[in-house]
Structure 1
């Protein structure tokens, strides 16, 4: 339960700046921050966990049931998330902007249904699959539910305040530094939003608890794709600033490749520091590429 609360803390931060940007009409930054959070957790944060755990221990292993479930869910969710973009980039006849927005809204509703189905699976019908991970989590951070919720509320409140200030500085920063919206959202804002996952995942990896480190990274990426992104679309319609799931071609490539690489490096349910370096390296390549998109 603890790692779910931790993931939710980071997710709530991203919810805030997604909704704030939506109201301000900064749709490109919203989409870019979604992209950056997905590839950031899948490559940069997970790679950091692999590296820091790997330099202390020769080999790190994680729960195969958890890895298989997370990988399959991630692949399914990313596939659904990117379908509107694929239709747009293929220039499908009749697939207009308004149709893209309506289709994205439908996809968002489906993804949110899958999200809640996953919660039922995780906490009700198949909870036993992850009992080892929960047991380790309880021993490492034995706060209890009440203290965990209090911690969650306090940190979320602080993060929301920081994000509100941050959002107000986005446009002046873009003008003064000459950055593109894609780079700002996918790299700068995403790294800030992933701060919670960065610290906690690295801590657990250092303690050789790759089950929790892996869960934090992958579940955070999943929640962005399956809950935060759909919620941003829905709130866009509520605020009268319709948003679709039509991402820039580079974003589509980055999300697709990061998901593929994630599955490949975790298929054997073990890892080492070199795989961490490889994941971080790929993330840096994408980050540099985003910089050139103005």
Structure 2
């Protein structure tokens, strides 16, 4: 028996040094920051080397600890996640009372942290996919909240809510998000004027003007009564223009990712690229690739589920609060979808990385105008819904003037707190305008025609 115990104990005594030596050799050979991000995975692979049943149990424990670590990082590392319980609260209120005002309010609060975490999971996944695929992921999931809400609204036939919420997202990014970024960055760096890449701003302004053109022509065609086939030419023009805008946005992605790979390099005060090394600004992923994919799927599914309650309660909330649906769609809904952009733009501006802030705010507006709106028109076409690019005269005029104001403020390639304050106050004027704006009824439209 003693001999058997010695034979059985011998491999276990030698396993410790072997594991330690293999782990130390692995750590010495790995010079990347990945070993800092995945220490649990390294121990998991080391445990798999043993021939006894023990390592599988250790591997299970490590996988459980990895899951706990991932939940801790994604769910408990952000103070905004304190709003997550309001999602289930909205469902309970809907089932117990049916009060649309409170259901809408709690759904709005519950979706806000989910939108921010969706952006976080996309950024984490972009670490592993590279610049090209990462850019496509940001284009797809950067405004996923607005698109999910829009698809639910399209399914319910609420075309005006879709149009106004997408328009509100553009206005919110261009005026509120960019204004807060300029203001916060200007207050931190009051003794100098922040600079950004002027050529990138010009390209984005051009795309926004192209989007305005796509929205303006169907509205002008409608209000001048110059359609070849009344009611049909406007819809056909909108669908054709949407396809052209999607092609233009795909070309823009190719241009941005292949030809302008250094557009987010920080600039110095003279407007030329600074000599700061990229290694100083590199960040390491906090969660693994598969964890990012799983969290992306979970957040998207949960946002889609809550959006159903949110959209169903819009009209009831408008009646209960005595607030126009236009104000809810243009002002309140985009604040939820732009939570991630708002926080990111301010954070980068306070670090004097204004080019990234500009890419977040103006880039998101470009995504919605050149991808989100045409995409919804095509989806509505597939669903058999007559959604067009005629956003009515009031909304189109607001968008056109907003693009002109932002384009003039960006043409110098500099930013300060006063420009930020101007943009924020402009957004206050827009919000007040939609608070007193009501969509014309069918009888009013018949009188116009």
Q: Same fold (TM over 0.5)?
A: yes
Task: Write out per-residue CA displacement over residues 26-78 of structure 1, whole angstroms, 9 at most, x where no aligned residue.
Answer: 11111101110111111111001101111101221111221222222222222
Of 208, 233, 237, which aligns to 1:99? 233
Change (3 A) 1:139 1:117: same
Change (3 A) 1:147 1:158: same
1:1-294 to structure 2, matched below 5 A, reads: 1=131, 5-6=137-138, 8-58=140-190, 59-94=193-228, 96-124=230-258, 126-130=259-263, 132=265, 139=281, 141-143=283-285, 146=289, 150=293, 152-294=296-438
Task: Give the conservation status (yes or no) of the 8 Å contact 2:264–2:356.
Answer: no
Distance 2:290 2:208 in 1: 30
Change (3 A) 1:215 1:180: same
Distance 2:291 2:174 in 1: 25
* TM-score, reference length from structure 2: 0.60
Q: 67-76 or 194-203: which moved more? A: 67-76
Offset of residue 285 of structure 1 = 0.6
Offset of residue 237 of structure 1 = 1.6
Offset of residue 138 of structure 1 = 8.8
Offset of residue 193 of structure 1 = 1.4
Q: Number of matched residues?
A: 292
Offset of residue 248 of structure 1 = 2.2
Offset of residue 208 of structure 1 = 1.2
Offset of residue 163 of structure 1 = 2.7
Higher helix share: 1
Offset of residue 161 of structure 1 = 3.7
* TM-score, reference length from structure 1: 0.90
Q: 177-186 or 253-262: which moved more? A: 177-186
**RMSD over aligned Cα, in angstroms?**
2.5
Distance 1:138 1:223 in 2: 29
Task: Give the conservation status (yes or no) of the 8 Å contact 1:9–1:155.
Answer: no
Offset of residue 190 of structure 1 = 1.5
Offset of residue 286 of structure 1 = 0.9
Pair member with larger Rg = 2
Q: 70-79 or 278-287: which moved more? A: 70-79
Distance 1:122 1:292 in 2: 40
Offset of residue 192 of structure 1 = 1.4
Query: Which structure ranks higher in relative contact order (CA pairs < 8 Å, sequence separation ≥ 6)?
Result: 1
Distance 1:108 1:138 in 2: 42
Distance 1:177 1:275 in 2: 34
Change (3 A) 1:260 1:140: farther
